[in-house]
A and B are shown apart, each in its own frame.
Chain A
Amino acid sequence: MPKRFLLLACLLALAMPAARADDDDLESTLGEVGEQYAIAYLTPLVHSFGANQNSGLFHTAHIPRRSLTFSIGLKVQGAHLSAGDQSFRRVLGNVALNDYLDLEPGDPYYGATGDVVFEGPTAIGDDEVEGTATAYVDGLPVYQEGTISGLVKTRWVPLVVPELQVGGFAGLKGSLRWVPESDVPEVGQTKLFGYGLQWSPNVLLPAWPVDVIVGFARQEIDVGTLLETEASSVFVAASKQYGLATLYGGLAKESSSVKVSYVEEFTGDPVEFEMDGVMESRVTIGTTLDLGVMVNLEAGIGDLAVYNFGLLFGK
């Protein structure tokens, strides 16, 4: 039962932007558009995936030299995206119109060259407004077709992951984020796996006034056959304990990518592309309160602003 709950929590958060009142899922929505439209439509979602995964990787820099520590809990991450990310405009100049629009032989402007303008809500944009694909020839909008609406109108893209950490040997701490591969209805085989390692130089320099760690983490999330994500981070962090509270901050270099695969309905062609996350570095500040259970709040600031809430049992 606990395993099922964790799985459900993760997938709910993962699938939240993909959920729609009419039960359409992200994959069938994307099936209505081609690769170039999908790239622009998914851009904010893709960037937030990696930024979320690389959040909440530490909640203290204190690692005992010879005292086993163990914690298990949930980390809830949320990327708070710009309002401008709720819509997009992508212009493809001087292209064959039928390569990007649902034109068929015999239609006016089939085979013509012009500019194609994709615009409308992104995946996190208005779910009641349909986007458009418009062909311009010599400055005249000669053809237009409706595309897809947003999935969920929100500026928050969340991610929930279970996390286990074990440390206290030679200043080392290992972490594991894991949800077993499971068949989720309407999503498919879905899994989450991540690991990380931290080391504290305080074991060599115990007189330092603050605790310090260096570490790395790597994670993968697969959502059916639609999305495969990878994220990794290398970081240095410091913390100081004040009574029940630990304040911490850190710097990280990170990377992420999302591979998207689906079938376009109109052509029947498979569409596959990979996008890198925009977040390459971040400054993290946060605090952890030890109230019997550890409550952790954190902000990660880089190209995106990502917030993290953790609830951890143990030490």
Chain B
Amino acid sequence: MRKTLTYLMLLFVSGWLAAGCESDETAPQDRLPLLESEDVAGQAGYLALAVVELAPLALEYDGGKADASDGNYAYTFAAGGPIEGTVLLHFELDGAPSGYDVADYAAAFTADASPLRVTIVEGGVPWLLAADLETDLDQGAGTAVAYGSGTLTVGGYEATWTLAAVAVADAGQWPASGELTFTNEGITATVTYDGDDTATVEVGDSAWVVNLNDGTLTPVI
């Protein structure tokens, strides 16, 4: 009896020890390449281009581009362009849902599982851009102020961004003012719009000018 109990006890301890032991990981799990300030500034610069397209969407929406669905309007970028995908638009007037042509407020956002695909480099990996923007509209003046946030997937990097008071106008004008803050791998870049086809990108003490036509970055000396 005593031997049997000893055996059972040892068997239990053995099983407990065995079950509690896990194999170490052996497959390599390297970190993605470390980003430098200029890398993040470059990414922020390209995002600034996309924001130029996104921020005035609610202002420029004419209702002819897509049908309303589920109370939201949908704007779909043309296939084959640098931005592909659909942005949903929700219009309000004095806090109540309204048509797009009378609204004083609009939300512009991408559906959770359907980020925009942004092609930066021909043949490269499209960036995945998720956006959740709010826009105060002045349809009489043809201006709007956009703010909000979103995420950006750049290859294996997961970045976040916020938009603060970006003043836009219809008729293809450049954002007059406002800031885009972009953070990737702990490095934060701030893009400041100033009304022309360039914007300033700052990371710490370093600064660049980004050409909003093509994303080219030029250091500020």
Q: Do the two chains bind? A: yes
Please give, as numbers and ranges, the residues of chain A lying within 8 Å of B28 by CB-CB distance.
40, 43, 88-90
B79 close to chain A: CB less than 8 A = no
Distance of A292 Cα from B19 Cα, bound (Å) = 28
Residue B23 contacts which of A81, A90, A91, A285 (CB distance < 8 angstroms)? A81
In the complex, per-residue mask of A63-97: 1 if CB is within 8 Å of any chain B CB, else 0 = 00000000000000001111011111111010000
In the complex, the answer to whether A305 meets B18 with C-beta atoms within 8 Å is yes
A303 close to chain B: CB less than 8 A = yes
Residue of B nearest to A136 (CB): B33
Number of A-B contacts (CB under 8 A): 133
**Main DSSP-derived SS at the B contact region:** loop
* Nearest CB in chain A: distance from B189 CB, A: 11
Distance of A82 Cα from B21 Cα, bound (Å) = 10
The interface size of chain A toward B, counting residues with CB under 8 Å, comes to 45
B111 close to chain A: CB less than 8 A = no
Residue of A nearest to B11 (CB): A287
In the complex, the answer to whether B23 meets A89 with C-beta atoms within 8 Å is no
B10 close to chain A: CB less than 8 A = yes
Residue of B nearest to A85 (CB): B27
Can you spell out 23 A-B residue pairs with CB atoms less than 8 angstroms apart? A43-B28, A79-B23, A84-B27, A85-B23, A88-B28, A90-B28, A93-B33, A108-B121, A115-B33, A138-B42, A139-B33, A139-B36, A139-B38, A139-B157, A141-B124, A142-B121, A142-B125, A243-B3, A247-B14, A278-B24, A299-B21, A305-B22, A307-B18
- Residues of B participating in the A interface, judged by any CB pair closer than 8 Å: 3-4, 6-7, 10-11, 14, 17-18, 21-33, 35-36, 38-40, 42-43, 120-125, 154-157
- Residues of A participating in the B interface, judged by any CB pair closer than 8 Å: 40, 43-44, 47, 79-82, 84-91, 93, 108, 115, 117, 119, 122, 134, 136, 138-144, 242-243, 245, 247, 278, 285-287, 299, 301, 303-305, 307
